Amino acid sequence: MQWIRIAALALCLASPLGAETLLRPGDAARLDRTDTHLGAALREAFAIGAPDDIAALARAMAGTPVAPDRLRLGGDWQCNTIKAGKIAALVVYRPFRCRITRDGDGWWFAKLSGSQLTRGRIELRDGLPVYTGVGYVSGDDPPGYDALPDVLNATDSPQRTAVVGILEQTGDNAARILLPAPMLESRFDILVLRR
């Protein structure tokens, strides 16, 4: 009888429902330093960025996040990336298509158009909606975040990166994913979502 309880417990622990995605050590450190990376990137962006891009950045960062139990994420979104710090002080890309669907105890996110894509899960960690995904180039079919190799090089072909961030929904039709220290090009990315 004891082995049945042990087998049932093992099955529950192996189940994707309720199972939190294990963060890669480097990604956990990036998330822990979100505010530090954001502050440095904003300082550079506001000091050197073009006025129209600064205005877009200010709009993207406006609004107070709703509580995690009030998230209403499902549906089609327009999404555009804002890159701040490092190579260019501030770059605002045009909108592309994204989709969020309910996925058990979390959500599945996918950027559907453009040349640089990302897909992965959004799940609650310590009360925050955290995104764990894979960045890749259109035409590739990458593995999931949890199947990425231990060592990633953004210059490899095919290009694949680990993407982690914190989602903040600021209204029924507005959200953002804060992406600290991305593996490519910038110090901080903000994926702005509108519908």
The percent of residues in the chain predicted with pLDDT above 90, rounded, is: 77
* Token pair for 188: 């901080």
- When pLDDT is averaged across residues 59-87 and rounded to a whole number, the result is 95
**Averaged confidence pLDDT in the chain:** 89
Please state the pTM of the whole predicted model.
0.87
- Whether the pLDDT of residue 195 is over 90: the answer is yes
- Report the pLDDT value the prediction gives residue 9, as an integer from 0 to 100: 33
Task: Please report the pLDDT score of residue 167 as a whole number.
Answer: 98
Instruction: Look at residue 32 in the predicted model and tell me its pLDDT.
Output: 95
Domain spans of the chain? 24-194
Residue 2's contacts (CB-CB under 8 Å, 6 or more residues apart) are none
Q: How many Cβ atoms are within 10 Å of 119's Cβ, its own excluded? A: 19
- Could you tell me which CATH number the domain at 24-194 has? 2.40.128
**195 closest CA partner among 72, 83, 68:** 72
Q: What is the mean pLDDT of residues 113-136?
A: 96
The per-residue pLDDT for range 2-48, each reduced to its tens digit, is: 333 333 333 333 334 445 778 998 999 999 999 999 999 999 999 99
**Is residue 152 scored above 80 in pLDDT?**
yes
Cα–Cα distances in Å, from 14 out to 3, 10, 43?
16, 6, 43
Q: Is residue 90 packed enough to be buried (19+ CB in 10 Å), middle (13-18) or exposed (0-12)?
A: buried
* 6: enclosing H helix or E strand: helix 2-14
Coil/strand/helix, residue 173 = coil
